[in-house]
Structure 1
Amino acid sequence: MPDRLTAETPFVRRARRTNRRVRLFCFPHAGAGASAFAAWPALFPPEVEIVAVQLPGREDRVGEPHPPSVEAAVRTVAVALRPYLQGPYAFFGHSGGALMAFELARALRKRGTQPRHLFLSGQSAPGHDTPAPELHRLSDDDFSAALLGLDGTSDGVFTDPDLMKLLLPTLRADFTLWENHRHQPDRPLPVPITAFGGDTDPRAPVSGLQAWEEQTTGAFSLQVFSGGHFYLNDSEAELTMIIGSTLLGREPANAGRGERVR
């Protein structure tokens, strides 16, 4: 059973499964690339095939221009993933990746296809964001300090000037993309949604996670873990167990705290 993500197209890093029942597309947080999900293939049952999405400007695509808008990014990704949207599939996204997954699902509805499930992590529902300063407008020093406060990047990154010089443009471009995005209301999706978050995350409080219930006419559940914005760094095994069990129709253990199900 292959447990390694392999590049198949500029956008797709896939761990191919011959007995796949469902394909899970994974969208990383701001500044991150497909390698954020490098460990995931080994954590899922063999019936779940992991596809990590690599956007321009990330990792091995660092020299490519960043998308000028969320709308442009969604259109491009929808076309790039079209050959892989055969059979049952689902989306997972963390932080800005959750918004990408949600907006892509809305765009795909117009094309006659929908994911089986949306797993949205570390991100408040549209219209329920906690007021916060726009990070992309900060100076490099203040921007780096704000990112360090999210606990999503190793401290060593911020003490390595060469690495920061490489990463800052991508990080700033991603925050610019999402902080300038204005949600356009539409009817709820006919897709079950599971929201995940950390109980001390100031960027995605429980009330903002619960508000995803407004965006679906299907089932909704909420799992709250101990931790902040990057709670999943310490809860990867539990998180992936819940997702895999949900996709395969198995009864998941209550790994998160404060589970709420509609």
Structure 2
Amino acid sequence: MTASSLSLPNASHSPWIRRWSDGTAPRLRLICLPHAGGSAGFYRPWAALLPPEVELLAIQYPGREDRYEDPATASMDELVTALADVLSPLLDRPYALFGHSMGSAVAWELAHELNGRGAPAPRRLFVSGRAAPGTAVVGDVHRQDDDVLCAELRRLGGTSSEVLDDPGLRALVLGTVRDDYRLIETYRPSVRPRLDCPVHVLTGSEDPELGQERISERAGGWADLTTARTEVRTFPGDHFYLTPRRREVVATVLRRMDPSLTTGGHMWPSTP
């Protein structure tokens, strides 16, 4: 698939949302929330693996890529309120939320914020690479020096050594990462009623953040946050298993959103 076969992101709609669509009216929407230091572009390759019935809405947090000059969000509440404001008009059809690492906590908070506004609930909540809010281990990496922050990024993977070894690039990356770590490490979830949508927990088999020992404890705590079914799917890989296992992850998401999306002879383009 060539870059021209997908339309450019519709940035005019909102600085918070990136869309890569061929113009087909979607039946479902998949709203994806990035990890700490991540951007909407992390999910762009997913667009080529989705059928026309599903529109990808990738969230662009401030302080990165084309929003580099926008001030970082100060708190989880501020972030979720802004997201609910821009997403509410787009919930006119069934949707699912997918969050990786920090994004999983954002997705959970967003589901509650939308519920409090009387908006439609997500059909599914997909949470990846992090234990449930209130049970996830909270550190103080954002208070440490650059060497400690770099060591944390190397531990998790997902950031190339070329970037971390280049002083200029490292400075650009670490500012955003530190802001995101500050947000998630100072976040303290409120006690909330359980959601009523199914929760799907995805993890890498070698993920240092959510290993097999922790995932066995009621799906990393996620099972206690919904009245519906909780399912766990483990993929080979580390914290960023999503990149090498992209095709399998997207197929899993589609199957859980609507089984008809992966049956009936559908064939979708692929990316490396």
1:52 matched to 2:58? The reply is yes
- Report how far residue 244 of structure 1 moved: 1.1
Q: Does 1:14 align with 2:24?
A: no
Aligned to 1:105: 111
The CA deviation at 1:129 is 1.9
Note closer, same or farther for the CA distance 1:252–1:205 as it changes in structure 2 (3 Å cut). farther
How far apart in 1 are the matches of 2:8 and 2:72?
A: 23
Matched residue SS, 2:30: strand
Report the equivalent of 2:234.
Answer: 224
- Scaled by the length of structure 2, the TM-score of the pair is 0.87
TM-score, scaled relative to structure 1:
0.91
Confirm or deny: 8 A CA contact 2:156 2:208 kept in the other structure. Answer: no
2:179 aligned residue: 173
Equivalence map 1:27-106=2 (5 Å): 27-106=33-112
- What are the Cα deviations for residues 197-217 of structure 1, in whole angstroms up to 9, with x where unaligned? 012212123434442111111
Q: Which whole-Å CA distance do the structure 2 matches of 1:119 and 1:250 have between them?
A: 18
Q: Which residue of 2 aligns with 1:116?
A: 123
- CA RMSD in angstroms, aligned pairs only: 1.9
For the pair 1:134 / 2:144, whether they are aligned, the reply is no
**Closer, same or farther in 2 for the Cα pair 1:11/1:129, shift >3 Å?**
same
The answer to whether the Cα contact below 8 Å between 1:56 and 1:65 also exists between their aligned partners in 2 is: yes
Amino acid paired to 1:129: A
Question: 2:30 aligned to 24, 39, 43, which one?
Answer: 24
> How far apart are 1:252 and its partner, in Å?
6.7
Give a deviation string over 1:74-120, Cα, whole Å, max 9, x none.
Answer: 11111021221211111111000111111000111111121111111
Is 1:243–2:253 an aligned residue pair? yes
Aligned 8 A contact 1:242 1:252 in 2: no
Query: Which of 165, 170, 193 lines up with 1:164 in the alignment?
Result: 170
- Match of 1:233, SS state, is coil
**Is the CA contact (8 Å cut-off) linking 1:3 and 1:15 kept in structure 2?**
yes
Structure 1 segments (4+ residues) deviating >6 Å: none
Relative to structure 1, the CA distance from residue 3 to residue 251 in structure 2 (aligned partners, 3 Å threshold; closer, same or farther) is closer
Amino acid at match of 1:117: R
Q: Supply the distance in 1 between the matched residues of 2:155 and 2:115 (Cα, whole angstroms).
A: 37
Partners of 2:256 and 2:87 in 1: CA distance: 23
Q: Kindly provide the amino acid, as one letter, of the partner of residue 115 in structure 1.
A: P
Identity of aligned residues (%): 40
1:192 & 1:4 partners in 2: Cα distance? 32
Structure 2: gaps of 5 or more residues? 264-272
The equivalent of 1:212 in structure 2 is 222
Using a 3 Å threshold, how does the CA distance of structure 1 residues 251 and 37 change in structure 2: closer, same or farther?
closer
SS of the aligned residue for 2:29 comes to strand
Aligned to 2:268: none
Deviations 1:134-193 (CA, angstroms, capped at 9, x unpaired): 211111111111111111111111111111111111100000000000011111101111
- Offset, 1:19: 3.8
For these two proteins, the number of residue pairs brought into alignment is 252
Q: Which residue of 1 is the match for residue 132 of structure 2? A: 125
- 1:77 maps to a residue whose letter is L
